Amino acid sequence: MTLDDMDIQQRLVLAFTQSKQPISGEELSHQLGLSRTAVWKHIKQLEALGFTFEASTRVGYVLRDWPDELMPALVKPHLAPDRAGALGHLILWAAERESTNVTAIQLASEGQPHGTVVTCGVQTGGKGRRDRAWTSPKGGMWFSILLRNPCALSQAADLTLLASLAVQRALAKHGVNTRIKWPNDILLNGRKLCGILAQMRTAGETIDYAVLGIGINANFVEQDLPADLQGKATTILSATGKPVYRPRLLADILAEIAALYRLFDEGGGFADIRDEWLAACATIGSRVEVQVGREIVAGTAIDVDDHGNLLMLLDDGTRHRVHSGEILFQARDVIP
């Protein structure tokens, strides 16, 4: 399927989601500038993707059912009207990608605008932090957001700390109550539900662009995760017994991220939301082992400061501050 085909299909779906009435083949062919045979061909392709249309010779087509994929035409009706800093006004979906971060980085180098969101149904080479693979089956939410000049390089850690709160807030709106594990994992019932991978290109003291990749184990079951994650990771469907409507959840996450990132324009950052972030954090008071370079530092997590550093009380009674930058953005996470 070509990019143009994809675009036509998304416009077709948007025409249906925006209209309460049946739409005739003639009207669709007029709106899209296509022959009626071409419209019919696109309707058939959408049916193969899980859309159900009802066709009646007199009134036209009605959209009866659709898949809950992160397609632009399904997400857009839930986005707030365009405003400065808004995210997701260009959403690029594909049934399968190697990794949405890989695509977003490529698009960034080709000049795609700030706020572009890359989504897909399945990732075949999903990337986790520290060079780990990220299992990305059908039913999950796999997406990356392109952010141009989001903040100063000194605030790089803030990007993911703020994003973790945005995801936590949006999930709560959907009845999924999660906690944050420092620095930016999202836990449901103590198990990992969501991970965030930020990759950046820097220029001096500024961030040229950042790609914020977010993966949420949504509408599939824990058994679809690899054996080594059983008992450590969970999914919304397994933990709550109910699926979420992914297009709406994505729109809500994008709105929360955009709202929190406005803090950067006002000269603020993590410090402004630290109290709320700490209230949502599951790490403080727990015993933790943190990888700092090649070393593992063990102790009790006692606080997170205004810059997102984790403050630990070590077993010998000394205090140790772990700079989030060391953990979030290792050399291999930065695109040269």
Residues interacting with ligand BTN, by CB under 6 A?
99-101, 123, 126-129, 132, 134, 136, 142-144, 185, 195-197, 213-215
The letter for the amino acid at 247 is P
Query: CB-wise, 131 or 275, nearer to ligand BTN?
Result: 131
Q: Which token pair is 167?
A: 């995801």
- Closer CB to ligand BTN, 22 or 128, in the complex: 128
Closest CA to 32 of 17, 47, 48, 15: 15
State which H helix or E strand residue 271 sits in.
Answer: helix 270-279
Is the Cβ of residue 116 or residue 123 nearer to ligand BTN in the bound state? 123
Minimum distance from residue 32 beta carbon to ligand BTN (Å): 31
Q: How far is the CB of 325 from ligand BTN (least distance, A)?
A: 16
Shortest CB 305 distance to ligand BTN, Å: 22
**Alpha-carbon span 119 to 19, nearest angstrom:** 25
The residue nearest ligand BTN at its CB is 195
Cβ proximity to ligand BTN, 130 vs 287, nearer residue = 130
Minimum CB separation of residue 222 from ligand BTN in Å reads 17
- Using alpha carbons only, give the angle 283, 289, 293 rounded to the nearest 5 degrees: 120
Task: Give the separation between CA 12 and CA 6, rounded to whole angstroms.
Answer: 10
Rounded CA-CA distance 102/213 in Å is: 10
Closest CA to 28 of 49, 50, 53, 48: 53
For ligand BTN, the closer of residues 11 and 138 by Cβ is 138
Q: Smallest distance, Å, CB 119 to ligand BTN?
A: 9
Residue nearer to ligand BTN on the CB measure, 195 or 269: 195
Vertex 59: Cα angle to 58 and 63 (nearest 5): 135
Smallest distance from the beta carbon of 264 to ligand BTN, in angstroms? Answer: 22
Residues 65 and 52: beta-carbon distance below 8 Å: yes
**Minimum CB distance to ligand BTN smaller for 185 or for 252:** 185
Give the SS3 label for residue 286: coil
Between 43 and 104, whose beta carbon lies closer to ligand BTN?
104
DSSP class per residue in 200-259: EEEETTEEEEEEEEEEE--SS-GGGS-GGGBTTB--HHHHHSS---HHHHHHHHHHHHHH
Minimum distance of ligand BTN from residue 163's CB (angstroms): 11
Torsion of the alpha carbons at 69, 247, 280 and 162, rounded to the nearest 10 = 100
* Residue 1 in tokens: 């399927």
* Min CB(214)–ligand BTN separation in Å: 6
Between 180 and 214, whose beta carbon lies closer to ligand BTN?
Answer: 214
Cβ–Cβ < 8 Å for 12, 49: no
Query: Considering the complex, what minimum distance in angstroms separates the CB of residue 228 from ligand BTN?
Result: 14
User: Is residue 186 within 8 Å of residue 171, measured between CB atoms?
Assistant: yes
